[in-house]
Amino acid sequence: AIRGESPPAPPPLSVETTPKTESELNAIRNACTVYVAQFQGMLIGYELGREVDVEEYNTFFPRFITDRLFNGVARCMPFEELSQRMDKFLHLVGYEVVPIQIGHTKADSRVHEIQGSRQTGDEPGTIVEVVSPGLQQRGGGDIVQKPVVIRGE
């Protein structure tokens, strides 16, 4: 169960506990059978409700990792350390940091959001600074969040 939530408890069973005839005993058996079936129905409804919550969680969790955790940590940490520190969390949602080698990786508007350019001694068109890192699907897949970079001239 999730913290603060408890599964349903069975309602009290109110039947005669000292039957005097066979028909009273059968009535108790029937009442118990109905009671068990009703409680099973309550538990099934609870489980179905939990499955809906799991679906909501599966959409919430990746957004939380990218919007809150990754973007919050990325502002406070050097780009070079980010991948190794965030890899376990990003792996949970199938993401990885967009790999960039300063001075070697070519700036590409399909992958990077180019914020500007700067005169450097590096090869023109290569990335000279990462303003904010980006995310992609694990294994070099689709870009989830473009990195913001500055290109060398």
All structural domains of the chain, each given as residue ranges with its CATH number in brackets, are 22-152 (2.30.22.10)
CB 150 within 8 A of CB 116: yes
Secondary structure (DSSP) of 1-17: --TT--PPPPPPP---S
> pLDDT tens digits for 108-151?
999 999 999 998 888 889 999 999 999 999 887 899 999 999 99
What are 97's two structure tokens? 């940091």
* Residue 122 near residue 103, CB atoms below 8 Å: yes
Take residue 16 and report the two structure tokens written for it.
């005669």
In whole angstroms, give the CA distance from residue 122 to residue 112.
18
- For residue 2, what pLDDT band results from cuts at 50, 70 and 90? low
Rounded to a whole number of angstroms, the distance between the first and last alpha carbons of the chain is: 57
45-74 pLDDT per residue, tens: 777 766 666 777 788 888 888 888 888 888
Sequence-separated (6 or more) residues with CB below 8 Å from residue 123? 103, 152
Supply the pTM of this predicted model: 0.62
Condensed to tens digits (0 to 9), the pLDDT of residues 7-40 reads 777 777 777 778 888 888 888 888 888 888 888 8
DSSP states along 65-122: IIIIIIHHHHHHS-HHHHHHHHHHHHHHTTEEEPP--TTTSBP-TTT-EEEEEE--SS
